[in-house]
A and B are shown apart, each in its own frame.
Chain A
Amino acid sequence: MRQQRIFLLGAGAVGSRNALLLAEHDMTLIVVDHDAVEEHNTIGDRTLYQLGDVGQLKVYALRDKLAILCPNAVVDAHPRNVHDFTDGELRLMAQQCAAALVAVDEGAALLRLNHLLYSQLMMLYQGVHRLGQSGQVIITRPGSPCLKCCLDVQDANEIQTLHHEPGLGVHTGAVAQLAVQVLVQELAARGGSPLGQHLGENVSVLFTSHMASELTPSGPGIVCFAATGDPECEVCGNLNERR
């Protein structure tokens, strides 16, 4: 998998864990995040960052961390906000990658990435819900429902960022692990789709509950959903029709 390059957008709680798991699979990473490590990022086991990293840009702190944990890791670090890249720059970086993992929780950035990169490569959007009780991995591929259709939103204001959520590392780690697991299996299949074979061709949303819930009465588990693409969607509508 060393030849596989992954576009990782976001290096926070979920993204930093994605990076470690991908590096363990010898994947090359292009990492984008403009934030610096803050003290609250280091509390408990929420991220890979430690107190000594406070003040450093996350992408550089992450690259240094991976250099110790996975000495063969190749990390191309970009300390910039998604919004500061031009459309062309984002498309060019995506072109070099086999897939993108998105660990960003800002609505406008998510919809911009969906709009720009949907037709280029497989994208996995991750998120953790209130208190870390559950999370999600949304998978889009050219031809499948796009993120906008999966979330059933018209604009970015409908996506709410849950600031300063006290989710635990085990919760964010579970979402990060699920996404990397799906990604690695899909890339290893080279053409076939384990996701489609095992979970159903139209599965787009993996909802993971970290405790017993209405959806998972027996305890922690994953529930799969098939989202419906809007034929009028400006992102995936035409591609859905061609399917």
Chain B
Amino acid sequence: MAVGSDHDGRLAELEEQVQELQTKLAELDEQQVELPPSRAERPPAPTTPAPRPTVWDGVKSRIKDIYD
């Protein structure tokens, strides 16, 4: 059984695949594909806005400062 020739054939096949992948990688490098920013670089997710102060809130802050 020609075991050695089978190995050679498989090796050649794998080398060919590696070559293809390297070519694709080089192409992607050339295209400068933009990757998504890392978590730290991402802008903060929009949060629920704080409730708007009511008229009563404004009055409450005022009625604590008094003179008689």
Contacts and interface: CB of A to CB of B under 8 A. Distances in A.
B64 A159 contact: yes
Contacts, number: 58
Contact of B67 (A127, A134, A158, A207): A127
Interface stretch (A9-17, A61-69, A181-189, A229-237): A9-17
Given A207-B59, A225-B59, A12 B68 contact: yes
Interface in B30-68: 55-56, 59-60, 62-68
A162 B62 contact: no
Chain B residues touching A, range: 10 to 19
B62 to A, nearest CB: 6
Contacts of A129: 62-63, 65-66
Contact of A128 (B59, B60, B67): B67
Contacts of A13: 67-68
Interface of B: prevailing SS: mixed
Contact of B66 (A15, A136, A152): A136
A241 interface: no
A14 B67 CA distance: 9
Given A205-B59, A207-B59, A225-B59, A105 B68 contact: yes
Interface in A108-166: 126-130, 134, 136, 138, 150-153, 158-163, 165
B56 to A, nearest CB: 6
Interface in A8-42: 10, 12-15
Interface of A: 10, 12-15, 103-105, 126-130, 134, 136, 138, 150-153, 158-163, 165, 167, 205, 207, 215, 223, 225
25 contacts: A10-B68, A13-B68, A103-B68, A104-B68, A105-B66, A105-B67, A105-B68, A127-B67, A127-B68, A128-B66, A129-B65, A136-B63, A136-B66, A151-B60, A152-B60, A159-B64, A159-B65, A160-B66, A161-B66, A161-B67, A162-B66, A205-B59, A207-B59, A207-B63, A223-B59
Interface of B: 55-56, 59-60, 62-68
